[in-house]
Structure 1
Amino acid sequence: MCRIYGYLNAFAAPNALRAVAAIQRHGGPDGTGTARDQGWALGNNRLAVVDLDGGRQPYRLGEGITAVFNGEIYNADELRGQLRAKGYTFEDRCDGGVIPALYDAYGDDFLSRLDGMYSLALVDRRNGRPRLLLATDHLGMKPLYYRWDPGSRSLHFSSEIPALLAFSTSNPSLWEPGLDAYLSSRTPFGEQTMFAGVRVLPPATSLVCELGGVPELVRRSGAAEDGVGIPYFGDHDEAAAGADVRARLRQEVGRLMVADVPVAVITSGGLDSSLITALAAQHAAEAGRPRVHSFNIAYRGAWSFDERHFAREAATRAGTVHHQVEIDPADFPSLIEDTVWHLGQPNADPIALSTGALFAAVRKAGFKVALTGDAADEVFGGYDRMLAAVAAGTDHPDGDDWFQPYLDSLAVLPARLRHRLYTEEYRTLVADYPALPEGPLETLRHGSGSRLRRITDFELGQRFPAYHLRRVDHLSMAHSVEVRLPFGQRSVLAVGRALPDALRIRDGRVKRALYSAAAGLLPQSVLDRPKQPFTLPIVEMLAPGLPLWDFARDVLHRDRLAAGGQLDPREVRGLFTTQAQRPDATTALTLWALLIHEVWREQFGAVRTEALAVAA
């Protein structure tokens, strides 16, 4: 696991490259390396997980192919054996070391042979003119950001936004519609970020550019296209489907526990992470390894949404060494500052705050790798919004009465409410911009397949990479921890997507096949508990007299909002009045989201572009 960065058709002094590397060193504290020549450079920061003494990057094949890599290739040993049979040799057994030879042997199609999570950059100079290839895995588990300047035909890229911005000496510009996009989906979906000119490479996508040329994006087969060779299950084959899912998860958990450093598990107390915990503990016992360590986080004091007792029951049943992490609400202001910085752009999920604190504790306990239960809800139909969408309009299956309520469930607050918060100038500006990517929305609304299938594809292709994966990646790597996702592996994704709708959602119950897979492995209390999202109890914590309330009032002061030019200070003040007198989840989340946005705007010194300045 690493952080990568570089450029094409540009120039950066060695001290600039060192500055970029230093900004994201937390994601790769075990080594750094660069390769550069006229018009291009590649660099990396390494977190050593496999072959601790090897794995020095950049990787090279002769003088013509140079590559840097972030992630894990789980089939590297198999690929290395195939390449050795073709005459290639390797200096170490680090997984990324196969990339140059694999590219030499198969060209751009080498990406289809990689099984894992990754973002990578490769420069090919064999034809004289350097050619840059950037690529991401099937889910976008390892983000990669880039800036393309069409005037100079130069491209810069990095694993994290703060590092990417360090290539420039000027303050970044806001993407003006970003606030509306953020409030409509809790973080921007698609390729656009909250910065003008900064984009994120989509999942299963390659960017190819020759020196002096123009980038071309190439879409490969991603999570939504997998599913070849999956057994057929009928609507009532719940036990058989559960057995197949369990077998696949067991295999993937075993593969993902292979490392030259200790591997921990995150145990929230819900079905998904508890199942991964149970399978990891079984694998360790069967392999004769030490007991698995599990980690859970909670908040000091008495709050709702406290799942620690469920997590402890799951850990006890599995036989793990359990760690209970606690954070003090009094520390939230400083945690917010750190969290927003590492994310690089606002994410309205309150759990982001505890995510960073949890992985800090994991690293402090001596672990560099952790398994999580992320992706299960997206694949197996675990969200209440999916349940509601499936149930809506059953008398008119081709209707779209489900569509707007589903979109509202993704938002901080519905459009009719969020537009009231805006200044007149900002309302006018965003009227011409769609809050969500129009192509994916059209497919979601009127595409082929069942409603649940379309929602699954939208969640996996749009929401999951933006809202979940970037948050988990940035906040784990902020503390030098690599997160691995058994539910994000191709074999599990394939069977989950191939299940008939009734084996995911039926009779008011979600994740039918996954509950069947977990039967007998988890405490009955975990299996029977109602689904509740693990989150920060902000409705209770955003109350007069508590640290979070005072911090929010200060950050969202009318003078600060007036300087931003997007939010009406009177409307925001009204939110505080409502929350103080009649606290509710929507008002609390809105205040939280606006707080995060304002911290982000001030941290990065983002400036207003001419469009909004003129409108104001």
Structure 2
Amino acid sequence: MCGIIGFTNVENQVSATKDLEVMMEKIKHRGPDEHGIYIDEEVALGAVRLSINDLSNGSQPFSNEDGTVTVIYNGEIYNFHELTKNLIEKGYQLHSQCDGAVIPYLYEEYGVEFLKLIDGMYSIALWDSKKEKLVLAVDPMGIKPLYYHVTENNQLLFGSELKGFLHKIKDIKICYKSIFQYLRYKFIPAPYTPFESVHKLKGGEVLTYSSGELSFKYIKVEEILTTNKNTLEEDLIESVYSTTMSDVDTACIASGGLDSSFVLKIMSEQRITPLQVYTVGYKGMHKDDETKFASLISAQQEALFNGIKLDYSEIPNILSKVIYYLDEPNQDPISVPFFYLMKYIGRNFKVVLTGDGADEIFGGYDRFKNWDDNGNSEGYFSELCLFNDDELSSLFNRKPNFNRDADIELSNVKSLRDAINWERKYRLQSYHLNRVDKLSMAWGVEARVPFLRPKIVQHTRTYNENQYRDNGTEKAELRKAVGAHLPDWLNQRKKKPFRFPISEWLKGELRDWVHENLLGSNCELHYFLNKKEIEKLVYNHEANLEDNSYKIWSLIVLNLYIVNFNNEYKNRKIEYAR
């Protein structure tokens, strides 16, 4: 696991080296163990490394035998042993057992089609000096992020995180359409970001930059070549086994739910020493604290349980850090406890497995119930979205304009299958996986998601609606596959989302903090949002007239995002592109 960064149009190698060092410093939390660079007359590539595989001989960049293909890479290739064997049989000589070392040779043999051979999660930057082209790519599920921007001088900047190159962009403008989308969906769907002309690659997107021109293609998860014809149960077990591949020890995050408990169970079975299990709860008695269930399944598997407790008083300080590391406004309140938990995991582990992604691909969210029987699309959309169009019009004093791909495709959602496909394509990457990646890497931890391996996702792509939900039971096929591995009390337990008790805290212990951020004279949102509408949201919540906790939280996140940016780039005030 690493962070990657770079740019094209190198004018001077000395100044390029200095620029690259500054950029790598901004993302060094992703790879605190070492760093490496490559610079020629055309490109500058930098990588910061978190050593996990081939600890002594896995330095980046990687190159082929004659040095004409150079790669920096972030992620894990789970089938690299098989790929290495095939390359050796074809006559290639590899000098590292690090998984990323196969990439330049695969490209040399197959071109960009090599991406269809990779079972893993990745963001890749590959420089082909013979053809003078730069290739950027991310895995089909969008697990590993990669951002880019083309300057007025036609220079391409890119990196694992926005903060790595944002300082090199002269004119930064917040995009209103992106803010509309954030307040509607709770996130900004790829390929967009909060800023005009700054983009992120969609899941499976391949960008080629050559002679100053950009071109794009896509690698779909269905195109990943897998040879297994096993049952879902067999593939799930194997996926957990192989996702633990590492030269360092691994831990597990458990919530006490079906998905993470299955990962915990399978990980425990393959170990000699007890598995370390982590979960987060809240100080005091809260209905949203489910650590007791994670503790129970850990005890039944003879795993070592680590329950971390978060106190409300820590939230303001933690949230500011969360927003910095996320790079984009993300409304998900559990970002705070997740970040807090990763801090403790990072003290002892570099790799942790989670159950993330199962709800998206197997149909686990409660809002999917709206499609049962004859379907209730209105109910689904109201649960999926945060602010509706009328509320946004009141907030902005103008009618929102939703005409991006994610908006158009959502308007065409007519069934449960459509809804799951939309959420897989947009919500999973930009809302969910962005949080998992950024907030784990903030502490030098690689979070791995075995449910999002290609062969698992491929199982679900042919499901009919009853295989997602069967008589009101969510994740019907997943439950059949893993049920025999889990205790009855867990199989029978109704899915409960991992929550954060903000409704109580925002009108109680954190009331003054809310007022300071949203109603105070220094609130950045007052420059472009209707202050009276913000006041109404806050006061109605405090009077128990409405539960506006998630809307209030989203506005606090947005305000702090802008405050953080202005503090980071003091000489460059944000402008708003209308």
Q: Taking structure 1 as the reference length, what is the TM-score of the superposition?
A: 0.88
2:544 equivalent to 1:582? yes
The 3 A distance-change label for structure 1 pair 190 and 610 is closer
Q: Corresponding residue for 1:236?
A: none
How many residue pairs end up in the alignment?
569
- CA–CA distance in 2 between the matches of 1:611 and 1:469? 27
Instruction: Structure 2 unaligned segments of length 5 or more: list them.
Output: 567-571
- Name the residue aligned to 1:448: none
Once residues 251 and 115 of structure 1 are traced to their aligned partners in structure 2, the CA distance between those partners, rounded to angstroms, is 13
Where does residue 251 of structure 2 map in the other structure?
A: 264
* Residue in structure 1 matched with residue 240 of structure 2 by the alignment: 253
Relative distance call for 1:228 and 1:392 in structure 2 (3 A) is: farther
User: What is the CA distance between 1:57 and its match in structure 2?
Assistant: 0.5
Q: Any conservation in 2 of the 1:184–1:435 contact (CA below 8 Å)?
A: no
1:29 and 2:32 aligned = yes
Give 1:230 shift: 8.6
Q: Which runs of 5+ in 1 are unaligned?
A: 232-242, 394-401, 446-450
Distance 2:456 2:236 in 1: 7
Q: Deviations over 1:584-616 (max 9, x none)?
A: 44x01111000000000111128554654xxxx
- Secondary structure of the residue that 1:99 maps to in structure 2? helix
In structure 1, what is the Cα distance between the partners aligned to 2:435 and 2:525?
Answer: 28
List per-residue Cα deviations over 1:298-318 (Å, max 9, x = no partner).
Answer: 111111211111111111122
Equivalent residue letter for 2:239:
E
Asked if the contact 2:117/2:225 (under 8 Å) is kept, the reply is no
Per the alignment, residue 416 of structure 1 pairs with 390
* Structure 1 residue 414 displacement after superposition: 2.1
RMSD: 2.1
Counterpart-to-counterpart distance in 1, 2:307 and 2:574: 44
Equivalent residue, structure 1, for 2:366: 384
Q: Which amino acid letter does the alignment assign opposite residue 381 of structure 1?
A: G
Q: Confirm or deny: 8 A CA contact 1:181 1:435 kept in the other structure.
A: no
Q: C-alpha displacement at 1:10, in angstroms?
A: 4.9
Identity %: 31
The 3 A distance-change label for structure 1 pair 45 and 229 is: closer
1:440 lines up with 2:399 in the alignment: no
1 CA distance for matches of 2:269 and 2:495?
25
Change (3 A) 1:405 1:244: same
SS of residue matched to 2:124: strand
Asked if 1:542 corresponds to 2:506, the answer is yes
CA drift of 1:435 comes to 6.9
Structure-1 residue corresponding to 2:424: 460
**2: CA distance, partners of 1:20 / 1:518:** 44
- SS, match of residue 109 in structure 2: helix
Distance apart, 1:488 and its partner CA:
0.2
Match of 2:59 among 56, 61, 64: 56
Q: Is the 8 A contact 1:276 1:373 kept in 2?
A: yes
Distance 1:307 1:610, change over 3 A: closer
| Counterpart code for 1:569 | K
- Which residue number corresponds to residue 146 of structure 1? 148
Name the structure 2 match of 1:114. Answer: 118
| Amino acid aligned to 2:216 | L
Distance 1:435 1:531, change over 3 A: farther
| Worse-superposed segment, 588-597 or 514-523 | 514-523
Partners of 2:282 and 2:49 lie apart in 1 by 32
The AA in structure 2 aligned to 1:117 is M
Superposed CA deviations along residues 250-302 of structure 1, whole A, max 9, x for unmatched, are 10111011211111111011111111111111122xxxx31211111011111
Q: Which residue of 2 aligns with 1:304?
A: 287
Q: Is the 8 A contact 1:340 1:346 kept in 2?
A: yes
Matched position secondary structure for 1:87:
coil
- Contact 1:10/1:155 (8 A) holds in 2: no
Does 2:495 align with 1:528?
no
Contact 2:31 2:50 in 1 (8 A): yes
More relative contact order, 1 or 2 (CA 8 Å, 6+ apart): 1
Question: Among residues 348, 355, 359, which one is paired with 2:331 in the alignment?
Answer: 348
Note if 1:182 corresponds to 2:174: no
1:517 to partner: Cα distance? 2.3
Could you tell me which amino acid in structure 2 is paired with residue 480 of structure 1?
G
Match of 1:234 in 2: none
Report what 2:196 is aligned to.
196
Separation of aligned partners in 1, 2:577 and 2:33: 44
- The residue aligned with 2:442 is 478
8 A Cα contact 2:173 2:576, kept in partner: no
Work out which of the residue numbers 522, 542, 548 in structure 2 matches 1:560: 522
Question: Of 75, 80, 89, which aligns to 1:71?
Answer: 75
| 1:181 and 1:436 in contact (8 A); partners too | no
| 1:189–1:466 contact (8 Å) kept in structure 2 | yes
CA contact (8 A) 1:230 1:494 kept: no
The equivalent residue for 1:3 is: 3
Q: 1:505 aligns with which of 465, 469, 481?
A: 469
Q: Is the 8 A contact 1:561 1:568 kept in 2?
A: no
Range that drifts further, 410-419 or 344-353: 410-419
Q: 1:356 to 1:152 in 2, by over 3 A?
A: same
